[in-house]
Amino acid sequence: MTSAHATPAKHGRHSRDDVANAALGILDEYGLPDLTMRRLAAELDVQPSALYWHFSNKQTLLAELADRIAGRGQSTYEPSADWMIVTAAESASLRDALLAYRDGAEVVSSTLALGLGVSVPLTRLTNAVSLGGFDDETCRRASTALLHFILGHVSHEQQRLQYDSIGVASGVPEPDTLADNDADALDGAAAFEFGVLLFINGLRHLTDDARTVSVTVPRAATPLPSEHS
């Protein structure tokens, strides 16, 4: 999570940016359940109704926060850049951005599910994948699948962090009781990288001339004739 957030001065008229920054501060310190319009208004020393000049409801506010969270650390690259390297870098950057704020993955995931905002993370991944020369439909489907993995993985990481912070037993053995080949299971970054590489290498197979994957459904085995038949 971020170490600190600037709180706007509690006087005068606040801008949309002031409201969003204050909301990010509350989110990071207390979590999504405690980010209410009433609490935000109190933080800014205004009436709750004043917030609706900038955001029509809490959902549009969360959409703004989601875009800000997912917009952190965007990469710059040339159109000729290797799509696999760029996609891996953007995936890692999105993970870092989501982890930078408490409940960051939940905020972005809920906004995506509601179709709010401009879907910054999806745009970032789609642009990266498109460097591979895939058609638009493949880019959309691949980037959506990868984004779902990223959000799910980071959401799990953040839940574990919160449970650990309040002393909830996870039921997972201590690292020194696990075999060496199981150690990476406790490393969120390593597990995340492995998952992203699975997606990228799978998509790489679509770079054949037809850029399609043929799937053959095996038929049920024909029973052998009985010796007594």
Q: How far is CA 82 from CA 28, 85, 89, 168, 209, in A?
A: 35, 5, 11, 43, 18
For residue 186, what pLDDT band results from cuts at 50, 70 and 90? low
Q: Is the pLDDT of residue 128 over 90?
A: yes
- Residue 74's pLDDT is 80
Q: What is the mean pLDDT of residues 75-91?
A: 91
- Six-digit token pair at 181? 């080949």
- Residue 8's pLDDT is 46
Q: Where is pLDDT greater, at 176 or 85?
A: 85
For residue 76, what pLDDT band results from cuts at 50, 70 and 90? confident
CA atoms within 13 A on the CB side of 116: 19
Q: What is the mean pLDDT of residues 78-87?
A: 92
Read off the DSSP letter of residue 212.
Answer: -
Read off the DSSP letter of residue 11.
Answer: S
Q: What is the mean pLDDT of residues 147-156?
A: 95
Q: Where is pLDDT greater, at 183 or 207?
A: 207
Q: What is the mean pLDDT of residues 157-173?
A: 67
pTM above 0.85, yes or no: no
Q: Is the pLDDT of residue 72 over 70?
A: yes
Q: Is the pLDDT of residue 3 over 50?
A: no
Q: Is the pLDDT of residue 123 over 50?
A: yes
- Residue 217's pLDDT is 45
Domains of the chain: 16-55 (1.10.10.60), 73-207 (1.10.357.10)
